[in-house]
Amino acid sequence: MLEKYFIVLCTAALLSAEGIPEQQERIIGGDYVPIEDVPWQVALLRNEKHFCGGSIYNQRVILTAAHCVKGKKLRGLSVRAGSALKNFGGQLVSVDRVILHQDYVSSTDTLENDIAVLFLASPLELGPTVQPIKLAEESPEPGTNVLVTGWGALHDRPFLFFKEILLRTILTIVDRNECFEAYIADNFAIPVNATCAYAIGRGACRLDSGGPVVTLHPQRLIGIVSGVHTCAGELPEFHTDVAALKEWIINTVETYYRHK
């Protein structure tokens, strides 16, 4: 079962409800990052309780992982922007609509097109702590360093150690073929539209799902935290490849506003 191998980076309750790979939600081996350094980061909240991360695409659009919001009712769903504290400060805005990728697949052997677009009920007020991030034009090359941020678990098991403050860590993109070979032994196929990243003793964990993966120079959204075998374990974690799905993102946003 996929749940045996993966932490899809949401709460255990949300994961088991969807029957998707076990995902983890917190940064392991990271340090505090001021929201001014990553103003595109948002916390996804359900009934004002954090369960995933997201990235600001524009004042009314947030990008996150499909597995974070699949099957979730809009009532009580909101985002907090402009704060390094997941449950306090910044701007709290309700989500008006959720659109999942039409080819999103979550099964026991893969997790394809793990991306969703959230449309907010009212626009965010942009400023030093609230800013959109540009999308990557190309998929990252192996050896590229990327920034991963979130409010997820600090340890693998048990998932009992969570902090209120936003954390960051640096991972390195690894060769996709090597990543594929590492996972195929567990009968899991790395998604077609995904990249892999790794660092010894560091990485995303439970509740980091849906959060941003960003290149350093220039700062571009290269990925969305999706899944991992074990938090900061021996295998790379994998992220939804934003460059590969850029056209879908743009078309989804444009179509929504065209028919609104």
Catalytic site positions: 67, 114, 209
Alpha carbon distance 168, 101 (integer Å): 27
Rg (CA), the chain: 16
165: exposed, middle or buried (Cβ count in 10 Å: 0-12, 13-18, 19+): middle
Q: Which of 62, 237, 38 is nearest to 150 (CA)?
A: 38
Secondary structure (3-state) at 120: strand
Q: How distant, in Å, are the alpha carbons of 143, 172, 181, 251 from that of 79?
A: 33, 28, 37, 23
Own/partner contacts of 157-164, CB < 8 Å, gap of 24 or more, are 159/12, 159/24, 159/25, 159/26, 159/205, 159/206, 161/26, 162/26, 162/207, 163/26, 164/85, 164/86, 164/87, 164/88
Residue 164 neighbours by CB distance under 10 Å: 11
Evaluate whether 232 touches 201 at the Cβ level (below 8 Å). yes
Q: Which of 190, 224, 232, 218 is nearest to 101 (CA)?
A: 224
Alpha carbon distance 229, 225 (integer Å): 13
